[in-house]
Amino acid sequence: MKRINPARLVIHLLCSLWLPPPLSAFAQGTQTQLYRAVEDYLRLQTQGLPGKVSYRITPLDARTQLSPCDAFEPFLPSGSAPWGRTTIGVRCQGPSNWTVYIQVQVSVYAKYLVAARPLTAGQIVGPNDFVSRSGDLGLLPATILMDAEQALGKTVKIGIAAGQPLRGDQLIAPWAVQQGQNVKTISRGAGFSVSSEGKALNNAAEGQMVQVRTPSGQTVTGIARAGGIVEVNY
């Protein structure tokens, strides 16, 4: 008769305790519905992104047991983006009460801008300074530029090597209004529009806020526009 090693028997028993229990039919159905809810959510979140979008959902750990759920609420956790390697949270709204987080990889294949030549700090970006390339935006910084209008006429903040993707944080928009400049203010409200003159108290790119001192000495705040115009809305 073959002798059984007691130590080996104990190890075998301990290992068997760690085997994940098989999923019940209810649990499998819940997970299937969960993944479908995540797919629908991703489809909605990415429908406005440029280019071709694809995604891959990482399955939950096999040991995860989820109670039956009739309604799912997917959401994007704070600080997460709907592309690249990201996380989608899902809350069960009833009859159970649980929340799980699922890892997904969202790929967005589209065109983006790269430097056609080395760009130096202080240089004004012209039409021959960049070219378009295609790739997965999910693997690139969130501030990547995709439209030529986002780069043209802007000033290079730091040196950019040839072939490097252009990012919004690398460029500075030209001032629409400069400190000390005489500007035209256009004040608008319900049923009225008044033009006046003033002096800008700070630099501002188009669309940024700027303070203006009026001839009466009053300080107003408005939105800088090209041509030394400041819009003040009431």
Give the CATH number for residue 207: 2.30.30.760
What pLDDT is attached to residue 192? 82
The owner of tokens 């003159």 is: 197
- Mean model confidence pLDDT for the chain: 84
The CATH number assigned to the domain holding 132 equals 3.90.1210.10
pLDDT digits (tens, 9 = 90+) for 27-81: 566 788 889 999 999 888 888 777 788 889 998 887 888 888 889 999 988 877 7
For residue 95, say if its preceding peptide bond is cis, omega within 30 degrees of 0: yes
Is 3 among the domain residues?
no
Instruction: Report in angstroms the alpha-carbon separations of 97 from 35, 65, 91, 93, 194.
Output: 17, 13, 7, 6, 57
* Mean pLDDT along residues 200-225: 91
The beta-strand segments (E) located in 66-218 are: 72-75, 84-92, 99-115, 130-136, 155-156, 171-172, 175-177, 182-189, 192-200, 204-205, 209-213
Q: Are 101 and 89 in contact (CB under 8 A)?
A: yes
Instruction: Let me know the angle formed at the C-alpha of 168 by 162 and 169, rounded to the nearest 5 degrees.
Output: 95
pLDDT of residue 21: 41
Whether the model clears a pTM of 0.75, i.e. scores above it, the answer is no
The pLDDT of residue 172 is 87
Q: Tell me: pLDDT of 1 over 50.
A: no
- Domain final residue, candidates 52, 80, 108: 108
Residue % of the chain over a pLDDT of 90 = 40
What is the total count of domains within the chain?
Answer: 3
> What pLDDT digit, counting tens, does each position of 7-39 carry?
554 444 444 444 444 444 445 667 888 899 999
Closest CA relative to residue 181, chosen from 225, 138, 127: 225
**Shared domain check, 187 and 161:** no
CA distance 61 to 232: 56
**Does pLDDT of 5 surpass 70?**
no
pLDDT in tens, 118-170: 999 999 999 999 999 999 988 888 788 999 999 998 999 999 999 999 999 99
Separation CA 79–CA 38 (nearest Å): 18
